[in-house]
Structure 1
Amino acid sequence: MDLLYQIDVKVFYFINQTLSNPLFDKFFPFITDLKNWYIAYLILFLLMIIKGGRLGRIAAVVLVFLVTATDQISSSLLKNLIERIRPCNVLDHVNILVTCTESFSFPSSHAVNNFAAALFFSMLFPKYRVWFYTVATLQAFSRPYVGVHYPSDVIGGALIGAVLGYLFGWIALKINTYLKEKKTQITDKYQRIELK
């Protein structure tokens, strides 16, 4: 366990200090701040409802449950269960680029939420999966870069998020298939009535 922690710390310092440069020091604090994403999230949500057809509307509804689940599982359950202290609160010489809160570190909620969304959207709208995974990866990478998470927090969060995203994506696709079949049955029934 000590060896794994040492590796975690070394990789953390590599990302947080060795890769540090003026461009990244501006870019990743911007990327990691969720307030900078609110408009993009709202536009995506509205596009799903307005332009996404039945699958888009199903995705919008299921997404609400996915976000609730990921937030509760990562922030309310796992963080308080594991109680890992953030690197910015325990390590020396950390390049801290955002506020270092007292909340616990594992898993990274940014990683959980973003990889859950990436997998969920990739299952429903595979044409755009490169964009979904790019955003999730940048968000996740930003966390050790700005000094608030260990790499293992991010990797663990990404895995948890991927499982949840897959589960809710599967549910959304099942609902879509069910409604599609139901509509076909109703259409067939009315066509038979008209033929009589």
Structure 2
Amino acid sequence: MKKGGKILFFFGIILFIIASFYFDNILIKDISYLRNSIVDNFFLIITLVSSEVIIFFVLSALFLWREHKRKWIFPLWASLGLSVIISFILKVAVHRPRPFQLGLVQLLPSLQEASFSSWNFSFPSFQTMLVFSAIPILFAQFPKLKKFWIAFAVLVAFSRLYFGVHFVSDVLSGGVIGYLIGLIVVQIEKKTNIGKKIYEKIFRK
């Protein structure tokens, strides 16, 4: 895609996200009608495996497993870490209640015990931002996993809507911001090799 096309595509996504704010309440209610016990259990599993701890250790193990990929472990950690920090800052700054907190949908009993106190705001979706931030790095180093990770990222994003813990605009914004974080980290690494230099300095490679 040419530079002009990329710019138009980017602005198209931004406009789509802005438009989604106007339909958030309707969409989140419509999505809640899809609930049933089988789908509930499926997305509960997706929620479990998409926790930040599991994502961190699984992706770290993947890069450490292949020796020639280990130089990318620090860019990976930078991408995930920036997602955590930026997500927290935006949540506190925007201060947007979650759909179930506004009474738009009911929270499943199995999620009643989940703690939302430290992340008690809806915008943006942290889980979505986290999984999407890894996409550019995985594309660059593990292209065979591209389709799998995209499918997983989409399921994670939809699970947040399905359970009524985020609005559509939260998820779309989280995905875009996360992807941009990963993309910027990849570009910096390709230009500076800073992650490789840190790895070689620490492990004397």
Q: Is TM > 0.5 for Structure 1 vs Structure 2? A: yes
TM superposition score category, shorter chain reference: 0.7 to 0.9
Which position in structure 2 is the counterpart of 1:78?
90
Q: Which entry has the higher C-alpha Rg, 1 or 2?
A: 1
Structure 1 contact 122–129 (Cα < 8 Å) conserved: yes
Relative contact order: is structure 1 or structure 2 higher (C-alpha 8 Å, sep ≥ 6)? Answer: 2
Alpha-carbon distance, 1:170 to partner: 1.8
State whether structure 2 residue 178 is matched by structure 1 residue 165. Answer: no
TM-score by length of 2: 0.74
Q: Specify whether residues 127 and 176 from structure 1 end up closer, same or farther in structure 2 by C-alpha distance, changes over 3 A only.
A: farther
Identity %: 29
The SS at the match of 2:166 is: coil
For residue 70 of structure 2, give the secondary structure of its aligned residue in structure 1. helix
Q: Is this contact kept in 2: 1:124–1:169, CA < 8 A?
A: no
Contact 1:30 1:36 in 2 (8 A): no
TM-score normalised according to structure 1 size: 0.77
Match of 2:25 in 1: 9
| Partner Cα separation in structure 1 for residue 146 and residue 56 of structure 2 | 16
- Equivalenced residue count is 173
2:34: which partner in 1? 19
CA contact (8 A) 1:108 1:149 kept: yes
Question: Which of these residues, 132, 135, 142, is aligned with residue 149 of structure 2?
Answer: 132
Instruction: Provide structure 2 residue ranges, at least 5 long, that are not aligned to the other structure.
Output: 1-18, 197-205
1:95 CA drift (Å): 4.2
Shift of 1:50: 3.2
Superposition map of 1:80-119 within 5 A: 80-96=92-108, 97-98=110-111, 99=114, 101-102=116-117, 103-119=120-136
Would the aligned equivalents of 1:31 and 1:138 in 2 still touch at CA under 8 Å?
yes
